[in-house]
A and B are shown apart, each in its own frame.
Chain A
Amino acid sequence: MKRYSTILFIAMVLMTMSCKKFLDEKPTNSLAQPQTLSDLQALLDDSQSMNQLRTSAMAEGAADDAFLPPTTYSTFGDFEKSVYTWNYIGTYFSNDWSAGYLPVFNANYCLDVVSTIPVTPANQADVNNVIGSAHFYRAYNFLSLACTFTKAYDAATAATDLGLPLRVQSDFNKQSVRSNVQQTYDQVISDAQAAIPLLPALPPHPMRPSKAAAYGLLSRVYLYMRKYDEAYKYADSALKIKSDLMNYNGDTEVGNLTGTALPFKQFNKETIFYTEHSLNTGLVNPGSARIDTVLYASYAANDQRKKGFFTPADGYQRFKGSYASGTRLFTGIATDELYLIRAECSARKNDKTGALADLNTLLAKRYVTGTAAVTATDANDALQKILVERRKELLMRGNRWIDLKRFNKEGANITLTRKAEGKTYTLSPNSQKYALLIPLDVINISGMPQNPQQ
């Protein structure tokens, strides 16, 4: 009997000792715990989380490229109306804040986990791509969020202006704390800089980041910071890698310009990095938004964009010029934007020739062949013409709001006006309302200060 009990006792001990391994079984095979290098790359390759429907549409809806006809306006909800009329009431999940912070989490998760993976010569390139991509995505989304939720960069006040909560770790238990605008832009720059040496010059697919994309991102940041020398430098670096432009006068990648169909191929040769506006507000949806009539009228008859970008809808014009597909709106980095940045920076550096060269290179592909030759009396005249073309080329791509902020900082003194349901609303230059309300639930839970609205 004693022997029996000894055996049984040993069996019992073994049973409980082996439990550790027994409990390592995954609860379901439909789920994976992302741990390996290929898992991390796969997280970054989730274009639905990382590229599609990401960048803020609220800011585009608040800007002045598009408007809502009265019958459409009345069908919108209070939140949308409040954005449209700059009397923000705030919103709850899901929204542009969550859309932007999702890729930030994935980037942070990858950076946290990749540090636990030993680097070998064999996996060096893959590790580089994961780390570089993660830094890029984080920078890209911080910049997009900053355009919407922080004031325009102003070197004089950046250290005190409220910035974004800069989440750089994936631990959700860490409290969100707002940085200042200086720190926010510094973070974007350092992340983008970190990405450059790690990424390939051009990506295998525009949904993936690349050196060219990182340069493009840096040229955007510096442009928004009004540091035009750096903006020039990085736009130039990007264009040195990729400078293709589609010719709107019959390019294999451009379809029929007339009609309701979208003329531009998705992932066309101008696209360096692909993202889209979020759909968290219908304000910018081409189905309901109509193009500002003055803006539309500013397109010349020989401008192929007038046909390619617009189609009539209920007495107005709707936008169909996106580099995305369907009703989605492209907001990524493309060569046309880089030409315009380089042209603007040249003009601001008083280089009229350089500025016009870039502008005309672009416009030659936009106007009816042989009809676009912009001249200017001086660099400033060139600048004004470039800015006009910038607005006409990049509409509905998420640039207008930050441009308004930037131009007003430069003294443009632009006042926006809107009429809705018999009332007139205005947005004065440099208004605090250029930094939209952070979602109310985020403020409630985190205790972060809200953007002041006076």
Chain B
Amino acid sequence: MYKNYTFQILRVMKLTTLLLLATLLQVSAATFAQKVTLKEKNAPLETVLREFRKQTGYDFYFDQQTIKKAKPVTLNLNRVSLEEALKQTLANQSLDYSIQDQTVIIRDKAATPVIPVTINGSVRDSLKKPLVGATITIKGGKATLSDDYGQFTLSAQTGDVITVSFVGYRPLSFSVTENMPFQAIVLYELSSKLNEVVINTGYQTLKPNEINGSVSVVTNEMLNQQTGTNILQRLNGVTSGIYFNINKTAGQSKNFISVRGLSTINGNGDPLIVVDNFIYEGDITTINPSEVESITILKDAAASSIWGARASNGVIVITTKRGVFNQKIKVDVSAVVTSTQKQDANYLPKIGVSDYLDVEQFLFNKGFFNTTITNTSSRPPLSPGVEIFLKRRNGQITAADSLTQINALKQYNLNDQINKFFYQSPLTQQYFVTLRGGSNNVAWNMSGGLDRSAGALRDKNQRLTFKFGNSIKVSSRLQADVDVAYANTRTQSGIGTTDIRVNNRVVPYLQVADANGNSVPYYLYRNSFIDTLGKGKFMDWHYYALDEYKHSNTVATLNNFTANVGLTAKLLAGLTATGRYQYQRQWTVSEKLSDLDSYYARDLINSFSALNYTTGIINYIVPKGAIRQFIQLNQSAQNGRFQLNYNHSWKDHQFTALLGSEIREVRTDGTGSTYYGYIADPLSYVAVDFRNRYRTNISGATALIAGAPNLQPTLVSRFVSLYANASYVFKERYSLSASGRRDASNSFGVSTNDKWNPLWSLGAGWDITKEDFFKTKVINYLKLRTSFGYGGNVLLGRYALPVAGTSTDLFTNYPYQRIGTLANPSLRWERTGQLNLGVDFGLWQDRLSGSIDVYRKKSTDLFGQAPLDYTAWGGADNIQKNVANMLGHGMDIALRSRNLTGTVGWNSTALVNFNSNKVTTYYTDASATLFTLVSASGNAIAPAVGKPAFALAAFRWGGLNNAGDPQGYLNGKLSTDYNAITNASAIKGDTSTSITYIGPSSPTAFGSLINQFNYKGFELAVNIGYRFGYYFRKPYFSSNALVGSGDGSAEYNDRWQKPGDEAHTNVPAFQYTNYPQSGARDVFYQLSAVNVLPADNIRLQYVNLAYTRQLRKLPIQSFTVFVNASNLAILWKKANTPYDPDYPTSQGYLHNYSIGFRATLQ
């Protein structure tokens, strides 16, 4: 397990040193860990005690005269408790000690006579402002408050310990001696973030040394090094063992981040996301990153198996900011503006316009467009070029006119127009304010955030978040927590660019706007037909690509409401009980409003308009008016949890346990409806007939009017869980931990629920540095950990019951039921067993620290489609079973070094991850062969036994022959019989000589190097990320795509054109076969080894420069201004290719530039 907090500790240390002057007594304070490591020979006692103070953070009070008389001390302490350290230190002295709160008092064993003393003093803050109402208490006795000037008077006796405290400030104590002068006391503010890293598993909070599992904690500071609006994206590149799958899809995954690689094939590969103790079922984008205090990633079984049947993919626990007791009101504000690089429609080079027109003419001459021209059922449009060729063929224009008109088309470039008129630079603004405060009994926080962004295509996004939290100490034994959060996101669609095609063909010389920027109309049906149909009675039937979004627009609004109530009661010594309940409701409304000027409405109305050609009167079957389409999806989740916690320490033993039960339900449903002739105000709409078919004007066929109201089925998932967790530590060195959890669900089979089969984990740890025999100055911390255990993965939406859909038979009108899925009563969750070996270390007083974890994961019972002998049921040839297994292993290394600690600070963090997996069992014949990986894109899981889940194989490449045809191998010989090659490969599989395995398509080694430099208030962070050991398929030229959809890769320019070209190109000749165009040759070339390249690359992920100033003035306590740039550049890539290996077919990485500030006010 690694600690992400080292940097913070150093910063806060300065805050807390304090000396009380003008007295015999010396008071000092520091905050740090409580363990003491010290080796001294004949050192003065004072030096020793100062060292103890530094290491433990405890305050020490002593009479300097007494201390000076003490004997020199010889010690060898290695991470012992403070008490133990004091015992050894004072063993041969005439001194005694006592510990009160966080204060150590050293005094002479000889009784000191008690003398009454009157103490006068004042209490001020660090800005010398008097603190009114500070409490001055004699330990175990009376108390007084400071007056309006911050002054006080108190009677005490020598030897008494007096504590001065004020809400939100660090209390201060001193001992009373004779002749006390005026006490000028300065209290320092409590740092809201105490530098102790807290691991929150969602069920309990632990300190790093209390866990044997593998955990990463990402602090607020690290999260702030990136600026995106998605909280999960901020984990990218700053923590180990977690990988963001680029361009990949898998099963039911949504976010598709993987923790320690894949653990599933067809299930959900996303880690479980927990927000403030409970599973978060909603949309992760509703969480404002500014609300987040820290994120804990539970990686191995010991850490995550407490989440049982959902833990297999790892768990990401998000903890939001909360108020702290005894803290003055504090306001944090932040604002960030991010500008994103403008997208480039020419990013992926395509065939030139002139070449395109040549191909179009070639196809026209071959008669390719004849069926389109004569199509009278859907009346497809022709491209401007084809219209010209047709006019020429029909003798309507001369050859010269035709040439002139075609040449005129060559000056246009659609992508240039898209760049000019459509794309703009996205701009994102993020604003956030949070208020926090707390008294002795109440801690509260309130926050609000507003994020807005204008997207590349004039789409708009807005997110509004509010959060309120309150913790109340009802009595000394009972605490109540109430949290309420609300988020609203609103997404408005922008311009669509995919519509700008002609009859589904890319036409690169189309125009969307004229020289004046006015929208150019174009046709989605054949112009000659539309122009005469309806004799001018129909509405304009043109499409205006540039304007459509102004008239037809989809606004999706997502609301998320979460309320959380918790009660914690202290029952007996060490025993507490917690009850929690959370209600979450999310509703998404998507509304598409298309006004009468929108093509969408005009097209639909025109299509159904029944025109009486004699009278010229139109009967509007679809009313002439706006159309409002409405979809609402609802989700609600309820959780109840009851938990008992027990802590007990005695002598060398420390025991912690929790036992709990949890019940949970998630329910979703939805509705959809369409209103025609819609007017918003005054609200009106026209009922239409959804039941009968009406004649449409384009094809003459009849059709139903779309948009009949529909109800989505209600889906209900229910879980009941019991869990327990215990750990035992002996002598602070040896620790053992165990956890177990049992889940039952309404989607598991009955037999699974009845089996009571728990998921469990065991862990052990050994802190070697605590051992007496461990004596080295180099290593200051060394802990070995190991764990083994199981996590599960639930595939929601799979049922163990034989379930039938119901409806009414069209012929008989009898109600019928149809079994859609065969009953599989033994369906159960997927299981992943994980063995983890880890070491945490610190060298040269943590100058170099880090952790190394090695793990092996075995996932069994994975959901998969097992072949079904459909003699048993003719409905499908497969059945969902727990059939597949996979094996994964890897290593997570995190290293942190403090290279420079002076005025110029320099820290480095290196994250190194290795992960590989392979499918070991999968019960279909096809998947058992390598051929599965030939036809795989590399971006979706293709299970082939013995190979990684994401992997690529390819046809062996034999170059082009002298006719420009690609050659493969058939039975070891060069061949162009592509069907035979495919058949040989598909049947022979692994033994085939026609195909070759290439490698994984997901990185097997990845990580990042983060360097942080600081000088005075400046801090510069640079993150360089790398991904190694994988392959990708590059885009390729396909004659089939060029002929069929007009989509021509720029590789066209390199195509084979004449014999001899095969010597210097691998791109096959353009080919046109009589319709249907034969795709076998293209497919062979596409899937051949020549198009698979190594994807290894190194990127500059982000650079963050921040300047922070502590003002300690009203109202601004501190502020930070920063600039940030991300997705900057590929620094290196292995393959010599113009394509981005991670985004070969799209412009995946766009540069982001942000500027922002954060400030703390009071």
Contact = CB atoms under 8 A, between A and B. Distances in A.
Interface of A: 1, 4-5, 8, 11-12, 15-16, 19, 22-34, 38-39, 41-43, 45-49, 92-94, 97-106, 109, 165, 167, 170-172, 174-176, 205, 207-208, 267, 441-442, 444-446
Contacts of A46: 809, 816-818
B414 interface: no
A98 B874 contact: yes
B714 A45 contact: no
A43 B746 contact: no
B868 A15 contact: no
Contacts of B663: 15, 19, 22
Contacts of B661: 12, 15-16
A442 to B, nearest CB: 6
- Ranked 9 nearest A-B pairs via Cβ: A102-B874, A30-B713, A93-B877, A98-B874, A31-B803, A19-B720, A172-B872, A46-B816, A42-B817
Contacts of A208: 812
Contacts of B753: 23
B946 to A, nearest CB: 20
Contacts of A24: 746
B744 A23 contact: yes
B747 interface: yes
A41 B820 CA distance: 17
Interface stretch (B156-164, B318-326, B484-492, B569-577): B569-577
B181 interface: no
A167 B872 contact: yes
A48 B717 CA distance: 31
Interface string B564-595: 00000101100101010000000000000000
B806 A42 contact: yes
Contacts of A176: 869, 871-872
Contacts of B879: 172
A172 B871 CA distance: 9
A101 B575 CA distance: 62
A445 B869 contact: yes
A142 B112 CA distance: 107
B819 to A, nearest CB: 7
Contacts of A5: 571-572, 575, 577
Contact of B713 (A25, A28, A106): A28
A100 B156 CA distance: 100
9 contacts: A32-B817, A38-B815, A45-B815, A48-B818, A172-B868, A176-B872, A441-B870, A445-B868, A446-B871
Interface stretch (B376-384, B794-802, B970-978): B794-802
Interface string B720-754: 10100000000000000000000011110000010
B425 to A, nearest CB: 44
A205 B814 contact: yes
B931 to A, nearest CB: 15
A419 to B, nearest CB: 25
Contacts of A93: 870, 876-877
Given A1-B572, A174-B872, 6 more contacts: A4-B569, A23-B745, A92-B877, A93-B877, A172-B822, A441-B877
Contacts of B815: 38, 42, 45
Contacts, number: 188
B722 A16 contact: yes
A1 B720 contact: no
B809 A98 contact: no
A281 to B, nearest CB: 16
A98 B870 CA distance: 6
Interface of B: 477, 569, 571-572, 575, 577, 579, 640, 642, 644, 661, 663, 713-718, 720, 722, 744-747, 753, 797, 799, 801-806, 809, 811-812, 814-820, 822, 867-877, 879, 925
Contact of A34 (B720, B722, B802, B870): B802
B867 A28 contact: no
Q: Among the interface residues A22, A27, A31, A49, which one has the most CB atoms of the partner chain B within 10 A? A: A27
A445 B715 CA distance: 34
Q: Among the interface residues B640, B817, B819, B871, which one has the most CB atoms of the partner chain A within 10 A? A: B871
B871 A97 contact: yes
Contacts of A19: 663, 720, 744
B803 A442 contact: no
A5 B574 CA distance: 13
Contact of B746 (A25, A39, A97): A25
A26 B713 CA distance: 12
Contacts of B819: 34, 43, 105-106, 109
A43 B577 contact: no
Contacts of B870: 93, 97-98, 101, 441-442
A446 B869 contact: yes
Contact of A26 (B716, B805, B871): B716
A382 B1031 CA distance: 76
B347 to A, nearest CB: 40
Given A4-B571, A172-B822, A28 B817 contact: no
Given A4-B571, A23-B718, A34-B817, A205 B805 contact: no
A105 to B, nearest CB: 4
Nearest to B820: A31
B805 to A, nearest CB: 6
A172 B571 contact: no
B746 A26 contact: yes
Given A101-B872, A445-B868, A45 B816 contact: yes
A99 B874 contact: yes
B1129 to A, nearest CB: 48
A442 B802 contact: no
Nearest to A24: B746
B875 A27 contact: no
A8 B644 CA distance: 9
A445 B817 CA distance: 29
B874 A101 contact: yes
A275 to B, nearest CB: 12
Contacts of A11: 642
B803 to A, nearest CB: 4
